[in-house]
Structure 1
Amino acid sequence: MKKRFASLFVTGLCAAMIAGCGSDDSTQTSGIGSSATAVETPTVSATTETSTEEVAEEVATTEVPEGMYLSELTGEPIDESLKDQRPIAVMVDNELTALPHYGTAEADIVYELMNSTKNNRITRLMCIFKDWESIEQLGSIRSTRPTNIVLAAEFNAVLCHDGGPYYNDSYFAQDLFADHFSGIFSRVNNGKSREFTEYIVSGDLDSAFSNSSISTTYNENRFDDGEKFYFTDYGTTVDLSAEGTEVSDVTEVVLPFYHNSSTLKYNEETQMYEYYEYGEIHLDAEDDEPLAFDNVILQNTSHSQLDENGYLVYNYLDSGEECTGYYLTKGQCIPIYWIKGSQDALTYYFTDSSYSQELQINTGKTYVALVPRDTWDEVELNN
């Protein structure tokens, strides 16, 4: 089984957390979203042994087919011609009126974040795609928030959205976050109000890149400290049931996203967690494919409200005993810890609070929820 020999190059202290509600424009700097506590990023040593709970089953590694490589987003084979292509990260409206979604089931990674402290803490999805040229219809597309801008940069992804609050401006002014497309995609006559009619359709992205200076391939802003996730070898399965691991059988996750009642239910046949909201399974409008994931990561994250309108930013620069979470796969769950030391470092996940054993996950699609810390105790893990 492989070991991860990447080091977390970025060390030092985080910028101070902004004040909460009512902060003036002068506070909207690269320090937004950081914790008030200084963070020093640990180093993952090349000599660190993988802990027993992360030892993969002893099965033969499947050979990668000729002309393919293992995707950095899923750990699974995709066409080698895509190797240097940058992903896109697409903001998708998650209001009931915006349903049904198109194309979301094809995403490699889906983030779900609270979009506003108002409207019963409505969420928005950020869907990340490597093979974006295969998109026929995706959306509907809505605005972005600062936290999404920072998370998209972890993948060197081009963020696709439709506007957003002025809090975004100081981020887009930085080279690390500058590459984005806003409000330039197709309008589809679906009988709904205009804010629910913008979609990425076939040809839109080719046109967007052609009419901009944004590169379709990875650029100098790709992070130095390795790939986002630490996948097990292709063809193997991570064993969470190894001796000494705190493992629970979990077949249902109910999240405290009150507006849409986000829930994940384990399908034993597919061995994937299927996404439900508004009381129903999420089916893609293109082909009725369920939105389903091999990996689920729940991240306990505090946030700061920026104004009386409910705009917010997650305190994504943080570490410590409250930076906890859960990892779920194959119907099982373990507690985890997370750390992000600076805006140009990845968020890393660990199985221990000393950050010595990095979390290894199964290959496949991944769902990540940033769960507000003030409702973390309301997360339901049901068997």
Structure 2
Amino acid sequence: FFKGRRFFMSDSDKEIDDILKEIKENKNKLTQNDSHKTEFKLEVNDDNKIENDSPQQANPLDNQENTVDETVDKEDVKPEQETSYNEQNEGAHTEDDDVHFDITESQQDDINSDDSQEDDVDDDSGSAEELADDKDEYFSEYTEEEMDDDVPNGKKKKIIIAVVAVIAVIAVALGVYFGMFYNKSAEPETTTESTTAQQTTEPVAKIVNPLTGEEGYDETALTQRPVAVVVENEYSTAAVKPQWGISQADIVLEGESEFSTRMLMFWADYNKVPDQVGPTRSARPPFIRFSQLFDAVFIHAGLSHTAGGYVGADTVFENENIDHINLLSLSESGDYFGRDYSRTKVVEHTGYLKGKNVAKLLEERKIDTTLNQDKFTSLSFNDYSKKLSDIPAVQVNFVWSSRCPKNALFIYDSAKGKYTTTDFDSKFGKSDVEFENVILLLDKTEYVVKQNYKGSGNSETYCNYELSGGKGLICSNGTALEILWGVTDGKLWMRDESGNDISLNPGKSYIGYGSSNNGGSYSLANDVLSSTKTKN
């Protein structure tokens, strides 16, 4: 069987010796055991398939896919069969198969010895076709030389059993052997990708306050509108300072009004408004319009009225469809509005908003609190505090206009990284305000006189802002940057002189809103700005 064949294997000759010895031992046991006289027939059906009418026994070869297509006798192997076999195995030989060997001389002797025994049995063999004619059955797995018509019946059966057993043993041995080694060498080398997918940690979206850029914001408030509350800052009246709630506001806007300044305090989350905010004061058109840059619900205590050439807050509320709440329309002993007489008995300096009940107030007034992104200025913030430029900004001065008696002064606290001021302090206490960002905007203003104010026969002068944009200054992290600002499609934008959008440092912001054409200005103590004043 092995004569003339070459095998491409990666193991030693000893494995072949072991296989041959096992074949010989199994064959000898089967041929010498007279007690096993199981008779069976191999019949050929119409489809040329072999059928066995012997008692059915579990056959370990039933599940084998290997088929022995060659005869046991090495001398019966035809040249074309050898060529086909060699070509098949040579085709399976790869560049990695460095070791191949021939059958050794001792192994060949063993094989020849086996062959001689088989030749002794097959000398008197007859024709398989004759046997088929006599008994309508034949053994399709054998050639004519392997069939013996003259051997006695029992001997024939033994020989048949022995031959079948030998073939079976050879088939199993070769099937297992070449299944292990041939298939192993023939299988294409594959690369196994790691089953552990490389985990790319996607950055978790930070939930930040849209007005401060600070983390820890309530995610449910992201879709809610902010609120803006009007608070007074009469410079000559100590009783109004420090303003209630000023240190807790996200943004504090301070603009010019009659006689002094007025403030607008923003909270992004109306559920975070403190218990007491005030003193609350009346509405003015410039503050109403600025609040709408952030789609805020406007809360005030009173309002200016249209008269003569002056357009008051009442007209702006109606014509521009502004959601607002006038605290003076509410009971002073109710859940939303109150008065604090601890500092003064002058009524106009005592009103305040009960901030903890703002959510209930908005619901009661049936105000839509869903944020309209098309009307909301989305401020840009850095991930952490950065210097804006190389210009130091340790002391910042601001003048609203040449007609406003009040000026502002901010000092940078390097230990805290924030700007502080005493402008909101008085004998009644300190405001404790600290701002990461001080934003100073200059806008065109107009002074409008309203005659016969409240029927007194006297006149009142109002300061109106055009909200047309202009120059500005941002101070943060001890540095300053001059900017340009404006409003487009109802949203505020701020850019550097090269046209790049500005990102603020996370934290609270103060916005000083002054006049560009009526003497408003900003300056630094070191006076290094390219332009520190803008006058009419």
Residue 170 of structure 1 is matched in structure 2 by: 315
Residue 382 of structure 1 is matched in structure 2 by: 525
CA RMSD of aligned residues (A): 2.5
Identity of aligned residues (%): 25
Q: Distance in 2 between matches of 1:132 and 1:283?
A: 30
Residue 186 of structure 1 is matched in structure 2 by: 338
Residue 224 of structure 1 is matched in structure 2 by: 374
Residue 335 of structure 1 contacts residue 351 of structure 1 at CA under 8 Å; is this kept in 2?
Answer: yes
Deviations 1:46-79 (A, max 9, x none): xxxxxxxxxxxxxxxxx779xx711111111212
Matched, 1:103 2:234: no
Matched, 1:82 2:227: no
Residue 223 of structure 1 contacts residue 345 of structure 1 at CA under 8 Å; is this kept in 2?
Answer: no
Residue 5 of structure 1 is matched in structure 2 by: none
Higher helix share: 2
Q: Distance in 2 between matches of 1:105 and 1:283?
A: 17
Larger RCO of the pair (alpha carbons < 8 Å, separation 6+): 1
Q: Distance in 2 between matches of 1:357 and 1:251?
A: 24
* 1:377/1:260 CA distance change after superposition, 3 Å: closer
Residue 432 of structure 2 is matched in structure 1 by: 290
Q: How does 1:133-148 map to 2 (within 5 A)?
A: 133-134=271-272, 135-148=274-287
Residue 361 of structure 1 is matched in structure 2 by: 504
Matched, 1:331 2:465: no
Q: Which of the residues 180, 200, 209 maps onto 2:353?
A: 200
* 1:248/1:284 CA distance change after superposition, 3 Å: farther
Residue 397 of structure 2 is matched in structure 1 by: 254
Residue 494 of structure 2 contacts residue 502 of structure 2 at CA under 8 Å; is this kept in 1?
Answer: yes
Q: Which of the residues 130, 142, 151 maps onto 2:290?
A: 151
Q: Number of aligned pairs? A: 293
Residue 399 of structure 2 contacts residue 522 of structure 2 at CA under 8 Å; is this kept in 1?
Answer: yes
Q: Distance in 1 between matches of 2:514 and 2:479?
A: 19
User: Between Structure 1 and Structure 2, whose CA radius of gyration is higher?
Assistant: 2
Residue 101 of structure 2 is matched in structure 1 by: none
Q: Distance in 1 between matches of 2:348 and 2:326?
A: 17
How far did residue 137 of structure 1 move? 1.1
Q: Secondary structure at the match of 1:171?
A: helix
* 1:109/1:152 CA distance change after superposition, 3 Å: same
Residue 304 of structure 1 contacts residue 312 of structure 1 at CA under 8 Å; is this kept in 2?
Answer: yes
Q: Distance in 2 between matches of 1:375 and 1:270?
A: 35
Q: Which of the residues 196, 208, 211 maps onto 1:70?
A: 208
Q: Secondary structure at the match of 1:224?
A: helix
Q: Distance in 2 between matches of 1:251 and 1:270?
A: 13
Residue 302 of structure 1 is matched in structure 2 by: 444
Matched, 1:274 2:417: no
Residue 437 of structure 2 contacts residue 510 of structure 2 at CA under 8 Å; is this kept in 1?
Answer: yes
* 1:101/1:228 CA distance change after superposition, 3 Å: same
5+ unaligned residues in a row in structure 1: which ranges?
1-62, 242-246
Higher strand share: 1
* 1:89/1:202 CA distance change after superposition, 3 Å: closer
TM-score normalised by length of structure 1: 0.70
Deviations 1:189-223 (A, max 9, x none): 324211111111254424422331212332xxx35
5+ unaligned residues in a row in structure 2: which ranges?
1-202, 306-311, 331-336, 451-459, 527-536
Q: Distance in 2 between matches of 1:283 and 1:227?
A: 37
- Residue identity in the other structure for 1:73: L
Residue 386 of structure 2 is matched in structure 1 by: 238
Residue 282 of structure 1 contacts residue 290 of structure 1 at CA under 8 Å; is this kept in 2?
Answer: no
Residue 158 of structure 1 contacts residue 181 of structure 1 at CA under 8 Å; is this kept in 2?
Answer: no
How far did residue 105 of structure 1 move? 0.3
Residue 231 of structure 2 contacts residue 281 of structure 2 at CA under 8 Å; is this kept in 1?
Answer: yes
Q: Which of the residues 474, 491, 494 maps onto 1:349?
A: 494
- Residue identity in the other structure for 2:493: Y
Residue 165 of structure 2 is matched in structure 1 by: none
